[in-house]
Amino acid sequence: MTSTPIHFVTGNQAQEALSQCGPMTKAWAKANDFTGKKGQLCLVPGQDGTIKQVLFGLGDDQKAKISPLQAGSLPTKLPVGHYHYDNADKIWNKDDLFIAVLAWHLGAYQFDRYKKSGQQWSELDWPDQIDREEVLLQAKGSNLARDLINIPANDMGPDELEAITKGLADSHGARLTVTKGDALLEHNFPMIHAVGRASTRAPRLLDMIWGEASHPLVTLVGKGVCFDTGGLDLKPSSSMLLMKKDMGGAANVLGLASMIMSANLAVRLRVLIPAVENSVAGNAFRPGDVLQSHKGLTVEIGNTDAEGRLVLADALSLADSEAPDLMVDMATLTGAARIALGPDLPPFYSDDETLVSALNETAKSQHDPLWNMPLWDGYDQNLASDIADVNHISPGGFAGSITAALFLRRFVEQTKSWVHLDIFGWAPKAQPARPKGGEAQGIRALYALIKQRYGTQ
């Protein structure tokens, strides 16, 4: 099988790079106005009319370091065939070259469950010294998260989320326990029950355990609101339209769990997913209600659309009672996070400074952007309630993402380090390596952190 070389060209060094490619290529590039602009593609023919070489522009490397994710637009742009990176090792160091290869696999993702495109993408030959298994397990985890978010709520309710989790558990020898419907009340998860009880699809708590009991315990908690109507505080239609993605936290922790188990990291892994649908019916919970919680705190409901923090709180306090070494929760928790930082840069919150620096570091090295935001103690008092231990929203709606994080913190006491990610879980427009639609956010950075911290078995 012939394999066509892809030659990366940076804008400011285009002339020099093209000279190295020979006079034919240089003339062809000039005739086609190829200047090495970001994302620019130029197919160079050989004598027989086949494609001899691909030139791919990366833009100016003087202004900013060139992101290896840019390579992620290649599989969908190129005519179908076999390719290899020609000079990628001259552009990127080994870690970034790994990302440039991963980017190809992330960019080749298609959601074709309901519309068979028949579209085949090109294949990339593996560069030397790239750990293929590692690339594939990271792509698989990320693409799992994307799939689960993209599947609409009619086909991704609590039942289906449970079935997917069971499938993942079975394929890695993990154990899944499910507490469902009224059993949530018997086992003291009143808020998961309250949020999910108005749906015909029963609320539940998924609890997956994997790995040796002697290893340090890492617990992942994901918001699994399969659809968020807002409840009695009903969302307007424009805000409800995308709410199939409100299980994005669950999708992401499952993607992360898949990576951790595939890589056989030396941890005891627990995954908790409150899987519910926030619906409207006569038995729905109401604004002004006071709920009991797993932890024992009474919670006054300010708005039934702030449901995510309620189901998370019950799961977090269960997780916390085991005092895990590390606890990560992920949730499409607030619209405020997106207003503060936009859809591509999820905020994360933690009181553990060491963890904050480590996560900042891996977010950069893995090209999986995250931004630290403060658990600002001064705002905690905004959660005061006249009639209950705590209100779950603050009046005025200031600092909505921070307030939500502070509410969650009330339910975490014994965990050694805890981090909360308020993700968007969705790419509103296509970017290299990030097709439009459901998106994995932060899980490659978290995976790198967990791998660094605990190692492999």
Catalytic residues, by residue number, are 235, 309
Q: Do 286 and 194 contact (CB within 8 A), yes or no?
A: no
How many residues sit close enough to Mn ion to count as binding (CB under 5 A)? 3
Centroid of chain to Cα 418: 17
Which position's Cβ is nearest Mn ion? 305
Residue ranges of alpha helices (H) inside 383-442 are 400-409
By CB under 5 A, tell whether 422 contacts Mn ion: no
Is residue 336 within 8 A of residue 432, CB to CB? The reply is no
Task: Quote the tokens at residue 292.
Answer: 């009991």
- The whole-angstrom separation of Cα 249 and Cα 257 is 12
Pairing relationship of beta strands 371-372 and 290-291 according to DSSP bridges: unpaired
Angstrom distance (rounded) from CA 448 to CA 442: 10
Q: How far apart are CA 78 and CA 87, in angstroms?
A: 18
Nearest distance from C-beta of residue 305 to Mn ion, angstroms: 4
Which of 96, 147, 207, 228 lies at the binding interface for Mn ion (CB under 5 A)?
A: 228
Stretch that binds Zn ion, among 113-121, 146-154, 238-246, 410-418 (CB under 5 A): 238-246
Looking at the Cβ atoms of 107 and 224, the one nearer to Mn ion is 224
Mark the segment that binds Mn ion (CB under 5 A) among 70-78, 130-138, 224-232, 314-322: 224-232
- Quickly list DSSP for 212-253: -TTSPEEEEEE-EEEEE--TTSPPPHHHHTTGGGGGHHHHHH
Which of 333, 427 has the CB closer to Mn ion? 333
For position 207 contacting Mn ion by CB under 5 A, the verdict is no
Which of residues 207 and 246 has its CB atom nearest to ligand BES in the complex?
246
* Residue 320 binds Mn ion, judged by CB under 5 A: no
Residue nearest to Zn ion (CB): 228
Please give the Cα distance from 36 to 55 (Å, whole number): 8
Residues that bind Zn ion (rule: CB under 5 A) add up to a total of 4
| Closest separation in Å from C-beta 312 to Mn ion | 12
Binding mask 287-316 for Mn ion (x = CB under 5 A): ------------------x-x---------
CA 429 – CA 210 distance, rounded (Å): 36
Give 185's Cβ-side CA count (13 Å radius): 9
Structure-token match 């370091």, residue found: 65
Q: Which residue's CB is nearer to ligand BES, number 81 or number 335?
A: 335
Binds 400: which of ligand BES, Mn ion, Zn ion, none (CB < 5-8 Å by kind): ligand BES
**Selected binder of Zn ion within 57, 72, 308, 437 (CB under 5 A):** 308
Where along the sequence are the contacts to ligand BES (CB under 6 A)? 228, 246, 303, 305-308, 332-336, 338, 393, 400, 424
Nearest residue (beta carbon) to ligand BES? 335
Beta pairing partners, 272: 207, 221
Least Cβ distance, residue 158 to ligand BES (angstroms): 16
Tokens coding 250: 């669950």
Contact with Zn ion (CB under 5 A): which of 86, 228, 300, 314?
228
Residue closest to 434 by CA, chosen among 345, 361, 333? 345
| 30 contacts 23 by C-beta, under 8 angstroms | no
Q: Which residue lies nearer to ligand BES by CB, 315 or 450?
A: 315
- The CB-of-393 to ligand BES minimum distance in angstroms stands at 4
- Which residues contribute to the site for Zn ion (CB under 5 A)? 225, 228, 246, 308
